[in-house]
Structure 1
Amino acid sequence: MFYHIKELAYQAKPERPDPIMARRLQELIGGQFGEMSVMNQYLFQAWGTRGHAKYRDLLLDTGTEEIGHIELLSTMVARLLDDAPVTELDTAAATNPALAAIIGGMDPQHAIVSGLSATPKDSNGVPWSGGYIIAGGNLLADMRSNLHAESQGRLQAVRIYEQTDDRGIKDMLSYLIARDTMHQNQWLAAIYELEQQEGVVVPNTFPKELEKRDVSYLFLNHSMGDESSKGRWASGQSMDGMGTFQYVKDVPPFGPAPKLKPAPPAVHTTPPNVM
């Protein structure tokens, strides 16, 4: 069950309208690593968590917080679209080069589709997709996906921060960037805790004897150079503590050349006697 309160999670007051920045902020709402993605990702992970109350609560707390972040960004977008030039655009642009630049950078869907409000889309108008979210039912795998999502999301927020001199936008983004700092740290903490309990390889329930263990810790060099041999992954104890990394410079084939039998005549492929 969710409750809504009228107050925002933080303030969202730009110094002046800016349709171009409104379009850019759409990426933080409906982009692949936007707030809609992390909100749905955390909530669906939580709803599917079985028997781990503290991790379920962690996910629900954070997913619910992200709902407020979408509201915050949507409010900012709406305010940035205040007084946007949505009528007589061609005439105005022809007489005012500055206005022409604004019109050219504006998301036309803000004027045509949404009535000067935010949309569940990215900065190019591509609709948000449920395919962006990861909720696989394995807590360690999911927490790693969460860290990745927050890392990319914070990166994008920082880039947009650098693209504006509006103190109101910067103030709001500063808040969101700080929350992304916390979220990266909390997912790292959860990952560390789960790794201490389960090990680092996902899943940890698959029997090791069913794995081709002779290749489990080989780094295979598939390039003409050997710079990759200098990394931590090329020698020494493996990260799961159950093997030793080995660097293989000249990678041998591990299987024979494929030989496929002819397809049945009804499929109409190339006859076997044609070379």
Structure 2
Amino acid sequence: MFAHTKRLQYTVRVTESNPGLANLLLEQFGGPQGELAAATRYFTQYLAEDDPGRRDMLIDIATEELSHLEIIGTIVAMLNKGAKGRIAEGVDSEADMYRSISGAGNDSHVTQLLYGGGPALTNSGGVPWTSAYVDTIGDPTADLRSNIAAEARAKIIYERLINATDDPGVKEALGFLMTREIAHQQSFEKALYSLQPNFPPGKLPGMAEFANVYFDMSQGETPTRGPWNKEPTFEYRQAETAVDGGSGNGEVTLAADEAACVQQAAERLRSDPDSDPQTGAMLGAGGDAAANTSAARQRGGKGGTATLDDGEPRSGGA
């Protein structure tokens, strides 16, 4: 059950209208790192979670993310409020109105005209929100790691938004939201490490002979060695083919009738490596290019003739 409290989780104070900033803030309203994406991600995880501790944590954080969505949406609406009223009442001349909604270096005209200045479920570029932003896979160790990364990405976006405004009230509210991303990240990390073992994700172990091997797959400059690719965790090896000891080729077993069909199709579709057919691009080149191509064929090309649209026979490949 959800019950809405009309007071925001954090007081929002906006000094002046700023449609351009409002448009940027939509990134945290309907963007991939935004509050709606976070709320739906944690809510769906909560519904499928059997562990009582993680279940409580997920619904608490999902619900708080909805309150953050309300804060961001309120800021967007307040930043747009002045422009919304002017457009709705048509108080400006056509030219002045066009200049005001087109802004200086922002796309706020989309939200002004299409959504009337209200917070839209899009990112700052106008791309509609999608459930594809929710990357839950149903394994706690994998999902918690994804949640930690999502909170980290959201914190970075909030930092960038804070740096994009000089409105003290907006800065303060965004600072609160950024700080809560840190708190959530810590909760998810604590929950992850309360699971033992928590790596690798899932139930099946890796193949022991490859689980701690690092392959140097790029050639050129001397590779940089570090804890990500050196002993004692990793055995460092050069790039290899057929590390399983097999042929390194694709091998498939077919029934006799299937094999016969495959062979028949291969023969029918076999290309001639000795041919040098004249192409439509060659014909379309015209002039000297076509003449040079024809002359080259006469000197060294494979025998055969091709008839052009003008009816003149030309030497060409088979």
Shorter-chain TM-score bucket reads 0.7 to 0.9
TM-score normalised by structure 1 residue count: 0.84
Structure 1 stretches of 5 or more lacking a match?
239-244
Percent identity (aligned): 26
- The CA distance in 1 between the partners of 2:123 and 2:261, in whole Å, is 46
The answer as to whether partners of 1:262 and 1:271 remain within 8 angstroms in 2 is no
Which residue matches 1:235?
A: 230
The answer as to whether partners of 1:93 and 1:103 remain within 8 angstroms in 2 is no
- Are 1:10 and 2:10 an aligned pair? yes
- The CA distance in 1 between the partners of 2:93 and 2:23, in whole Å, is 18
**Given residue 54 of structure 1, which amino acid in structure 2 is its aligned partner?**
G
2:217 alignment partner, one of 211, 218, 222: 222
> Any idea what SS the aligned residue of 1:220 has?
strand
> Cα distance 1:8–1:222, how it changes in 2: closer, same or farther (>3 A)?
same
Which residue matches 1:241?
A: none
- The CA distance in 2 between the partners of 1:266 and 1:176, in whole Å, is 65
CA deviation after TM superposition for structure 1 residue 236, in Å: 3.1
> Cα distance 1:175–1:73, how it changes in 2: closer, same or farther (>3 A)?
same
The answer as to whether partners of 1:29 and 1:120 remain within 8 angstroms in 2 is yes
> Cα distance 1:216–1:264, how it changes in 2: closer, same or farther (>3 A)?
same
The answer as to whether partners of 1:12 and 1:73 remain within 8 angstroms in 2 is no
CA deviation after TM superposition for structure 1 residue 153, in Å: 0.5
Which residue matches 1:272?
A: 270
Which residue matches 1:251?
A: 240
- The CA distance in 2 between the partners of 1:58 and 1:227, in whole Å, is 46
- Are 1:172 and 2:170 an aligned pair? no
Alignment of 1:8-157 (within 5 A): 8-50=8-50, 52-84=51-83, 86=87, 87=90, 88=92, 90-92=94-96, 99=100, 102=103, 105-157=106-158
Please identify the structure whose Cα radius of gyration is greater.
2
> Cα distance 1:226–1:44, how it changes in 2: closer, same or farther (>3 A)?
farther
**Given residue 31 of structure 1, which amino acid in structure 2 is its aligned partner?**
G
CA deviation after TM superposition for structure 1 residue 212, in Å: 3.2
> Cα distance 1:125–1:267, how it changes in 2: closer, same or farther (>3 A)?
farther
The answer as to whether partners of 2:192 and 2:198 remain within 8 angstroms in 1 is no
What is the CA RMSD across the aligned residues, in angstroms? 2.7
CA deviation after TM superposition for structure 1 residue 237, in Å: 4.2
**Given residue 17 of structure 1, which amino acid in structure 2 is its aligned partner?**
S
CA deviation after TM superposition for structure 1 residue 93, in Å: 6.4
What are the Cα deviations for residues 66-102 of structure 1, in whole angstroms up to 9, with x where unaligned? 00001111010000001215345751168x7xx4772
TM-score normalised by structure 2 residue count: 0.74
- The CA distance in 1 between the partners of 2:217 and 2:41, in whole Å, is 35
Count how many residue pairs are aligned between Structure 1 and Structure 2.
Answer: 259
The answer as to whether partners of 1:29 and 1:36 remain within 8 angstroms in 2 is yes
- The CA distance in 1 between the partners of 2:45 and 2:222, in whole Å, is 39
Which residue matches 1:184?
A: 185
* More relative contact order, 1 or 2 (CA 8 Å, 6+ apart): 1
> Cα distance 1:46–1:258, how it changes in 2: closer, same or farther (>3 A)?
same
The answer as to whether partners of 1:12 and 1:76 remain within 8 angstroms in 2 is yes
